[in-house]
Chain A
């Protein structure tokens, strides 16, 4: 996983004038999240989730800004970011398709779904389409093994997939007719 380190002694970070941490985010971080924890660093996950959700990835400048608010070293933020799979250190596609590859799904034909997506988008697992619309990844068990195979399109879980169904869902995303919400009556407005 994350024990492989890059040499970062002479690394330069890219910056821009406008902060990544918007005033709203900073306010929420200071007023909602930080008071929840005995030490400010406890609020690191929620802070990173906010940035990840908003930008789709976590730029190093944002890590620095978060570090400033939480009064910790930027390297501590990087340490956490680099360990967890859900935090992206580089930009990814506009939509993230994550197919489960664990035990129940693989043996209920998840591989066929992955192959169909690869063929449809012309990319391999771990890659992003040239138009920047889709990134495809495989994840371990998504906690829905009873309805295998399953995949996430962004935050939404889709169950009982077949190659045809997942491909038609990608079509819908492409032509703008995709309505969020996976299988079942679970998805209600909250």
Chain B
């Protein structure tokens, strides 16, 4: 594959086709795309194509596109689907992760705000391919408006024969195995942890959002103990394009891995926030350098200032330092630039005037607030980190506090193997990478730790 150049990448891609975004359209023209308009602009074509195929072939096509999860972990979607056991006549579920609470992330909201049928079509394709008869869209409680938009769209989809008794899935042409597909909105109630997939399932079951110990994995025992697929909103919204235009069209976008890892194909919504001239959510091919994204799309750093750092995609990913402005936004980013990963690929950008100690304190407060409290290293560690960061910011800390913070941070997470879920890994990476990449700022803020030594001058001089 020839190396991509990024000069002429200004093309309108498929996710935001119906959502005007600069430079292709005026934000003021954004409106909720209803069923009729959606169909007129080529909507539900992907579903129709999918339903002319065997379910297993739909899964193969998705697998072939190497679509990777857009919720943060980047797990190959088609592969996840193949973990499902064969249908046994019982309930099988799809849980759609619309919890979007990772600080710095605001991409799924855009899709649900204006193009809800894009998501619903993706849901229907997934339900058909995986033989799932009930879908719950778990949407965060604060998205009042988006929940209403979705409710309305679902109503339209029922009326127009997508879901329900008279729905398409219940005529399931080629599969010869029709079923009634239902789709509901399930509103969350203000807890970041419900974005973690098993906590999300607990939330749908009406319980507190405590992540489950895995295994068993949700594909085998998920919602109400039944096989369940969990996918992010944006992941599912890619499906109509993959089905209508084929997996090769999808693979023409994005990049191969430059370090021999799995590829990063397709486009990605990138919500840029922080100190840039034109923050906003753009759809771009994976692999675009952060610098190009910020300079070409976002009008550069605010006020012509210098770049100091950026969180690549939600605070859990850690930070890209001063010298990593050219980092490519793809799934290799974690291994190449010492961050946890691409995450939600919504960069929050900081200019040269930003106090990185304050950034670390803000993030530490977030984790202290959002830890669900099941695992001691996360519950206690997040509190410790917040206290230490507050102390450093106030100028009351000593050098040994830096070591302590580092030690606490390193010890927590599912990768060191001390916690149930990945929330603590996010805390670990955020604290650690900020302290490492801006260590001079932290050191300048703490009092030197020294051991006082008294010297008897008289004794020394031999008097």
Are A143 and B91 in contact, CB atoms less than 8 angstroms apart? no
From DSSP, what is the main secondary structure of chain B's interface residues? mixed
Are A103 and B141 in contact, CB atoms less than 8 angstroms apart? no
A141 at the interface (CB under 8 A from B): yes
Instruction: State the CA gap A79–B202 with chains docked (Å).
Output: 13
B208 at the interface (CB under 8 A from A): yes
Residues in A111-126 with C-beta less than 8 Å from chain B: none
Contacts of B148 in A (CB 8 A): 190
B359 at the interface (CB under 8 A from A): yes
A178 at the interface (CB under 8 A from B): no
A145-B103 in contact given A2-B373, A3-B373, A84-B191 (Cβ < 8 Å): yes
| B101 vs chain A, min Cβ distance (A) | 6
Are B145 and A146 in contact, CB atoms less than 8 angstroms apart? no
B28 at the interface (CB under 8 A from A): yes
Are B189 and A45 in contact, CB atoms less than 8 angstroms apart? yes
Are A1 and B362 in contact, CB atoms less than 8 angstroms apart? no
Interface size on B, residues (CB 8 A): 70
Are A49 and B30 in contact, CB atoms less than 8 angstroms apart? no
Residues in B77-117 with C-beta less than 8 Å from chain A: 91, 100-106, 108-109, 113
Contacts of A142 in B (CB 8 A): 142
Contacts of A146 in B (CB 8 A): 106, 271-273, 279-281
A61 at the interface (CB under 8 A from B): no
| A37 vs chain B, min Cβ distance (A) | 8
Are A45 and B348 in contact, CB atoms less than 8 angstroms apart? no
Are A48 and B189 in contact, CB atoms less than 8 angstroms apart? yes
Contacts of A45 in B (CB 8 A): 186-189, 203-204, 206
Are A107 and B224 in contact, CB atoms less than 8 angstroms apart? no
Instruction: State the CA gap A190–B156 with chains docked (Å).
Output: 13
| B193 vs chain A, min Cβ distance (A) | 8
A46-B187 in contact given A1-B372, A83-B208, A185-B30 (Cβ < 8 Å): yes
Are A104 and B273 in contact, CB atoms less than 8 angstroms apart? yes
* Number of residue pairs spanning A and B whose beta carbons lie under 8 angstroms apart: 175
Are A1 and B104 in contact, CB atoms less than 8 angstroms apart? no
Are B274 and A107 in contact, CB atoms less than 8 angstroms apart? yes
B448 at the interface (CB under 8 A from A): no
A140-B144 in contact given A86-B190, A103-B359, A148-B273 (Cβ < 8 Å): no
Contacts of B190 in A (CB 8 A): 84-87, 139
Query: Which residue from A79, A103, A139, A147 sits with its C-beta under 8 Å from B142?
Result: A139
Are B274 and A104 in contact, CB atoms less than 8 angstroms apart? yes
Residues in B320-350 with C-beta less than 8 Å from chain A: 346, 348, 350
Q: Which residue of A lies closest to B113 (CB)?
A: A186
Query: Which residue from B141, B224, B346, B373 sits with its C-beta under 8 Å from A39?
Result: B224
Contacts of A169 in B (CB 8 A): none
B400 at the interface (CB under 8 A from A): no
Instruction: State the CA gap A41–B205 with chains docked (Å).
Output: 6
B242-250, B363-371, B438-446 - interface stretch: B363-371
A102 at the interface (CB under 8 A from B): yes
A39-B103 in contact given A1-B191, A49-B189 (Cβ < 8 Å): no
Contacts of B272 in A (CB 8 A): 146
A188-B32 in contact given A39-B205, A41-B206 (Cβ < 8 Å): yes
Residues in B384-425 with C-beta less than 8 Å from chain A: none
Query: Which residue from A38, A80, A147, A185 sits with its C-beta under 8 Å from B208?
Result: A80
Question: Per-residue 0/1 for A50-86: is the Cβ within 8 Å of any B Cβ (1 yes, 0 no)?
Answer: 0000000000000000000010000010011001111
A173 at the interface (CB under 8 A from B): no
Query: Which residue from A87, A98, A107, A143 sits with its C-beta under 8 Å from B109?
Result: A143
Instruction: State the CA gap A70–B206 with chains docked (Å).
Output: 11
Question: Per-residue 0/1 for A1-22: is the Cβ within 8 Å of any B Cβ (1 yes, 0 no)?
Answer: 1110000000000000000000
Instruction: State the CA gap A70–B47 with chains docked (Å).
Output: 37
| B186 vs chain A, min Cβ distance (A) | 6
Contacts of B189 in A (CB 8 A): 45, 48-49, 84-87
Instruction: State the CA gap A106–B348 with chains docked (Å).
Output: 12
Instruction: State the CA gap A94–B281 with chains docked (Å).
Output: 34
A86-B192 in contact given A42-B205, A49-B187, A80-B208 (Cβ < 8 Å): no
Q: Which residue of A lies closest to B32 (CB)?
A: A188
Q: Which residue of A lies closest to B371 (CB)?
A: A1
A176 at the interface (CB under 8 A from B): no
Question: Per-residue 0/1 for B266-277: is the Cβ within 8 Å of any A Cβ (1 yes, 0 no)?
Answer: 000001111100
Instruction: State the CA gap A143–B27 with chains docked (Å).
Output: 18
Contacts of A186 in B (CB 8 A): 30, 113, 145
| B242 vs chain A, min Cβ distance (A) | 26
Q: List 9 A-B contacts (CB under 8 A).
A: A1-B191, A45-B188, A84-B189, A102-B366, A103-B359, A104-B274, A106-B358, A140-B369, A152-B142
What 10 A-B pairs are tightest by C-beta distance, nearest first?
Answer: A44-B206, A3-B373, A145-B273, A86-B190, A84-B189, A85-B190, A83-B208, A102-B103, A141-B103, A104-B273
Give residues in B with beta carbon < 8 Å to A. 27-28, 30-32, 91, 100-106, 108-109, 113, 140-145, 148-149, 152, 182, 184, 186-192, 203-209, 223-224, 226, 271-275, 279-281, 311, 315, 346, 348, 350, 354, 358-359, 362-363, 365-366, 369-373, 379
Other CB < 8 Å A-B pairs besides A49-B141, A83-B208, A186-B145, 7 of them? A37-B206, A84-B209, A86-B190, A107-B274, A108-B274, A140-B366, A190-B149
